[in-house]
Amino acid sequence: MLQIKDLTITHRKDFRIILEKFNLTLNDKDKAVIIGEEGNGKSTLMKWIYDPSMAEEYTECEGELITSGEVLGYLPQELPDADKDKTLYEYFSEANLFFDKDPKELAELAKEFRIPVDFFYSDQNMGSLSGGEKVKAQLLRILMDKPTVLLLDEPSNDIDISTLELLERLINGWEHIALFISHDETLIENTANVVIHIEQIMRKTKSRYTIVRDSYRNYIEKRAEDFQRQEQQALNDRKEKKRRDEKYARVYNSVEHALSNVSRQSPAEGKNLKDKMHTVKAMGKRFEKEDENMTKMPEQEEAVFFKLGSDDARMPAGKTVIEYSLDELRTPDDTKILAKDIFLRVRGPEKICIVGTNGVGKTTLLKKMVKELLARSDIKVQYMPQNYEELLDLNVTPVEFLDETGDKKVRTRIRTYLGSLKYTADEMDHPIRELSGGQKAKVLLLKMSLSDANVLILDEPTRNFSPLSGPIIRKMISLFPGAVISISHDRKYIDEVCTKVYTLTENGLE
C-alpha cells in the first residue's frame, strides 16, 4: 500500500501552493496516472513520493507518506547528469541485483526490450544514447531490483511505437502499484484505471485535485458532461435571479415611492406602508441567503490555444519545400553508418512525420535537414529540437528570450501572450531553467507563432504537453498553413496531423 495524508506543497520562490491537503491511497493492481497542465506540480509530487529531499530543493512540503515496506522504483523525467558519463555496464552494475542475474535472465530482458544482449555490458556512455534507449536502460535497471511500486515520470517520452506498446504491456501486466505521468493519450487510455487530476484554477491562485477510479476516457467525458450541466444550471439560476431581482426592485421602488408621498394626515396608511417595506426588506435578505447557495459557474483549467502562422505563411501547393538526398547517414561522431540512400521530397503545405525505431538516426537526419533549410532564403524556417536547451538560454526569463528589441510595448505584448499560455506574472520572471518541460515547449511554440515562418521542423512536438492540451496542440499544427517536417511517436499526432508518414530504416526512408 502507498498512502499520502494531508500533503501540502508550496513553491519556495513565489509561495504559490502547488498542492493542498492532498490525500491518496493506492493498492496492488492500481495503475494511476497523474494529469494536469504544465507546471502544476506533477513531477514534484512524484519526486516527493520517491525522495522528499528531491522536492524540497525548491518547495516546502508538509504531509505524511506511508509505504508499508514497498520497494520504490523511480524513472525521472530526464536522465540525471551524474549518470550521463557512465558506461552502460557501470550504470547497470549499480543495480542492487544486477550481479544476481544469470545470462538467461538478461537474455530474456533483452529480448523483451528489443535490445542486443551485450547492451548490459557495453562501454557506450549513457549520455550518448538516443532518448528512447535512455528510457529503456533506466527501466531495465529499475526492474532488475524487483520494485513493488513503479514511479514513472514521462516514461513514454522519446520511445518508439513498438516500445510504447511494450510499456503498455508492462503497466497492464504489473501486479503491484504503478503511478505514472504521461502526455501520451493512447498510453493513458490503454492502461490507467485511476486518474489523479491536479489543477491550478482562479489564475493559478488556487490548487485543486480530483481522484477518480475510472478510465481516462470515461473521466474526460464525464467531466465535460458535468461541466456543461453545471454551467447550464448556473446560467439558469442567474436568469431566474435576474427576473426575481427585477421584480423585487419594482416592488421595492413602488413601496419606497408610496412611503415618500404618504400624507402625514394618513398615519394608518403610513404604518401599513412601513410594515410593507419591512416585509420587502426581509424578503431581500432572504434572497441574499438563497443566492449564497446558487449554483456556481464551474471552474476548470483551460488548455492553451494560439495560432501558428499567419496567412503570409501559406505555402503554395506546388512549391518544393525540400528535395533532400543523402548517400549515407552516419552517427554524429562519424563512427557508424545508420542508413543509406535517403531521399525526401516535400511539396506545399504537407505535414510529414518520420518514425522509426530508437537509435535509427531520426534526430540526426532532422538536424542535417534543418541546417540545409535554415540556409535557404526562399523559405522561413523555425525549429523545435527534442532537447530544448539547444535553443533556449536557461539563464534568462521567457520574456527576455522572446524579446529581441528591448522595446517596452513589445515586452508588454509578449507578457500578454505568455499570460494566455497560463504563465503567472512570477513565472514570466523566473529563469527558463526553473520552468517545466511543457512550459519550455510553450516558449518555443510562442517564438514560432511570433515569427513569420512558413516551414516548421519539429522533433517530438507533443512530448511535453499534457493530455488535456494535446488535442489543442495537434489542431494548431494541423491548421498551420505552411509545411511541417516532424518526428513523432505520438499515435494521435500521427493520425490527426500528418499527411504522409515515412519510416527511417537502414535502407532509407520508406
Residue found under cell 408621498:
261
Cell numbers given for 389: 536547451
Distance (Å, whole) CA 114 – CA 253: 81
Inter-CA distances, 318 with 138, 242, 314, 325, Å: 46, 58, 12, 20
In this structure, the answer to whether residues 398 and 458 fall within a common structural domain is yes
What distances in angstroms separate CA 448 from CA 187, 297, 339, 465, 490, one per listed residue? Answer: 28, 35, 31, 16, 21
**Domain carrying residue 263:** 224-293
Q: Is residue 305 part of a domain?
A: no
Tell whether 29 and 107 lie within a shared domain: yes
238 domain residue, yes or no: yes
What's the pTM? Answer: 0.77
My answer on whether 266 and 328 are in the same domain is no
Best-predicted range by mean pLDDT (64-73, 303-312, 402-411, 437-446): 64-73
pLDDT at 371: 93
Decide: helix, strand or coil at residue 206: strand
Assigned domain for 70 exists: yes
Residues 279 and 366 in one domain: no
User: Measured between alpha carbons, how far is residue 139 from residues 32, 42, 153, 428, 447 in Å?
Assistant: 18, 20, 11, 35, 34
Residues 213 and 238 in one domain: no
Q: Across the strands, what pairs with 180?
A: 33, 152
Short-list 119, 129, 121, CA closest to 361: 129
- As a whole number, the mean pLDDT across the chain is 89
Cell of 504: 527511417
pLDDT at 303: 53
pLDDT at residue 131 in the model: 78
Residue holding cell 503567472? Answer: 424
Distance between CA atoms of residues 138 and 80, nearest Å: 11
Asked if the structure places residue 306 within a domain, the reply is: no
Indicate the pLDDT class of residue 449, thresholds 50, 70 and 90: confident
- Co-location of 183 and 110 in the same domain: yes
How buried is 215 (Cβ within 10 angstroms: 0-12 exposed, 13-18 middle, 19+ buried)? middle
> Is the per-residue pLDDT at 457 higher than 90?
yes
pLDDT for res 389: 87
Same domain as 174, residue 66: yes
Domain end, chosen from 240, 261, 293, is at 293
The answer to whether 280 and 255 are in contact (CB under 8 A) is yes
Q: Which of 51-65, 281-295, 486-500 has the lowest mean pLDDT?
A: 281-295
Q: Which residues are CB-neighbours of 477 under 8 A, at least 6 positions away?
A: 308, 351, 456, 458, 461, 484, 486, 493, 497
Q: Per-residue pLDDT for 151 more than 90?
A: yes
The 3-class SS string of 366-394 reads: HHHHHHHHHCCCCCCEEEECCCHHHCCCC
How many structural domains are present in the chain? 3
Going by their DSSP bridges, the two strands 149-153 and 483-487 should be labelled as unpaired
Q: CA-based Rg of the chain, rounded to a whole angstrom?
A: 29
Mean pLDDT within 171-192: 95
Q: Which residues are bridge partners to 247 per DSSP? A: none
Task: Examine residue 179 and state whether it is found in any structural domain, yes or no.
Answer: yes
- 353 plus 485 within the same structural domain: yes
Structure confidence at residue 265 (pLDDT): 62
Asked if residue 373 lies in contact with residue 366, where contact means CB atoms within 8 angstroms, the answer is no
pLDDT of residue 420: 76
Cell 557508424 identifies what position? 336
Above pLDDT 70, what percent of the chain? Answer: 97
Residue 209 in contact with residue 198, Cβ under 8 Å?
yes
Helix (H) or strand (E) holding 343: strand 337-347
Q: pLDDT band for position 472 (50/70/90)?
A: confident
Could you read off the pLDDT of 204-249 as tens digits, one per residue?
678 899 999 999 999 999 988 877 887 788 788 888 888 989 998 9
Distance CA 425, CA 412 (A): 12
Q: Is 246 in the same domain as 367?
A: no
Residue 34 lies in a domain: yes
Model confidence band, residue 264 (pLDDT cutoffs 50, 70, 90): low
Residues near 299 by beta carbon (within 8 Å), at least 6 away in sequence: 201, 202
pLDDT band at 330 (very low <50, low <70, confident <90, very high): very high
User: Nearest-CA neighbor of 199 among 191, 189, 212, 210?
Assistant: 210
On whether residue 489 sits in a domain, the answer given is yes
What is the spatial order of strands in the sheet that 500-505 belongs to? 381-384, 455-459, 483-487, 351-355, 500-505, 508-509
Q: What is the DSSP string of 155-176?
A: TTTT--HHHHHHHHHHHHH-SS
- Residue 433 resides in a domain: yes
Residues 208 and 105 reside in one and the same domain: yes
Residues 417, 451 contacting (CB under 8 angstroms): no
- Here the cell at position 328 is 549515407
SS3 35: strand
Residue 155 and residue 21 in one domain: yes
Would you say residue 1 has pLDDT above 90?
yes
Q: How far apart are CA 466 and CA 438, in angstroms?
A: 8
Q: Please report, for the domain that includes residue 328, its CATH number.
A: 3.40.50.300
In Å, how far are 4, 19, 38, 40, 184 from 43, measured between CA atoms?
16, 12, 10, 8, 16
Q: Are residues 417 and 317 in the same domain?
A: yes
DSSP letter for each residue of 397-422? -HHHHH-SS--HHHHHHHHHHHHHTT
pLDDT band at 304 (very low <50, low <70, confident <90, very high): low
The percent of residues above 90 in pLDDT, for the chain, comes to: 54
**Angular region, 51: left φ>0, alpha ψ -120 to 50, beta rest:** beta
State the cell numbers at 433: 531553467
Quote the cell numbers at residue 217.
476516457
CB count within 10 Å of CB 62 equals 10
Question: What pLDDT shows up at residue 500?
Answer: 96
Q: Which of 293, 327, 342 is the last residue of a domain?
A: 293
